[in-house]
Amino acid sequence: MPITVRHGLAYREKEEMMHTTFDVQGMHCEACENRIKTTLQTFPAITAMEVDHRHDRVAIEHQEMDLEAVATAIAGLGFTVAQV
Ligand SMILES: [Cu+2]
């Protein structure tokens, strides 16, 4: 019997998560937060998120990814974004 080594899975488990925080101006309520959450969920590399309109903050936990694309997507909803 050949031994099957699941490289993909092993690699995923070892991969370090990265954390990025964006300063997002223009969120006023939970509905704004939810619009951003829905958009963030379209990025498979994002594994966790915290969207806080009270502190103008969007924090994500993610794998290697194009952060500029995330900023552009949030800006596309009508918010002003800066990476902290
Ligand atoms: Cu709102």
Distance 77 CA to ligand 1 centre (A): 11
Distance 50 CA to ligand 1 centre (A): 16
What is the predicted pLDDT for the residue at 37? 98
Q: What does pTM read for this prediction?
A: 0.80
- The fraction of the chain above a pLDDT of 90, given in percent, is 79
What is the predicted pLDDT for the residue at 13? 53
Strands (E), 1-84: 18-25, 46-52, 57-62, 80-83
Flag whether pLDDT at 59 surpasses 70: yes
**Residue position matching structure tokens 């969007």:** 58
Flag whether pLDDT at 47 surpasses 80: yes
Q: What is 16-83's CATH topology?
A: Alpha-Beta Plaits (3.30.70)
Distance 32 CA to ligand 1 centre (A): 4
Distance 26 CA to ligand 1 centre (A): 8
| Pairwise CA distance, residues 61 & 79, whole Å | 20
| Pairwise CA distance, residues 43 & 62, whole Å | 9
What is the predicted pLDDT for the residue at 30? 97
Instruction: List pLDDT tens digits, range 26-44.
Output: 999 999 999 999 999 999 9
Distance 59 CA to ligand 1 centre (A): 18
Domain range summary for the chain, segments of one domain joined by +:
16-83
